[in-house]
Amino acid sequence: MQRAEIDFTSDPDNTAWHGLIEQRLIPLARGAGFDELVLFGLQLALVEAVNNIIEHAYDMARGQPIAISGECAADALRYRLRDRGQPMPLPLPPGAPAAPDASGGRGWQIIRAGFPDVSYTRRDDINLLTLSRPVPEKP
């Protein structure tokens, strides 16, 4: 099983963590055999999930911890995002398309397009969002 992890702090004005996702986490998906279009969608979904943490869990506060670990097993690619922000409201949004005139609501559509299996738990004041996608079958 291959693994990777990144840790950084929230900063609404600094997107250096985008590069960390691309350089350290997306190679797990590439190694699993996902094509370039899927890789782009996975990266977009991870960025959207982190944006949600910064905007909603941390209310745009700087210096708050965010960690993402990834693993690629024989059956699935999984990324686990951890933060100490406000809990997520439940149930999780289904990812249905937002109305064309809606001012928001597209983030979960992006996340669920990349990762059909999404789960959330909160334990000891830590949010854990797990994003999973089955790996492609080998020819």
Q: In which residue are the tokens 């064309």 written?
A: 100
Q: What is the pLDDT of residues 57-74, one digit of tens each?
A: 999 999 999 999 999 999
Q: In which residue are the tokens 């492609």 written?
A: 136
Is the pLDDT confidence value at 139 over 70? Answer: no
Give the CATH fold of the 2-134 domain: Heat Shock Protein 90 (3.30.565)
Q: Region 51-62: what's the mean pLDDT?
A: 96
Q: What is the pLDDT of residues 5-45, one digit of tens each?
A: 999 999 999 999 999 999 999 999 999 999 999 999 999 99
pTM: 0.94
pLDDT at position 120 is 97
Q: Are the C-beta atoms of 80 and 92 separated by less than 8 Å?
A: no
pLDDT at position 95 is 80
| Cβ neighbours, 10 Å, residue 46 | 26
CA 28 vs. chain centroid, Å, equals 14
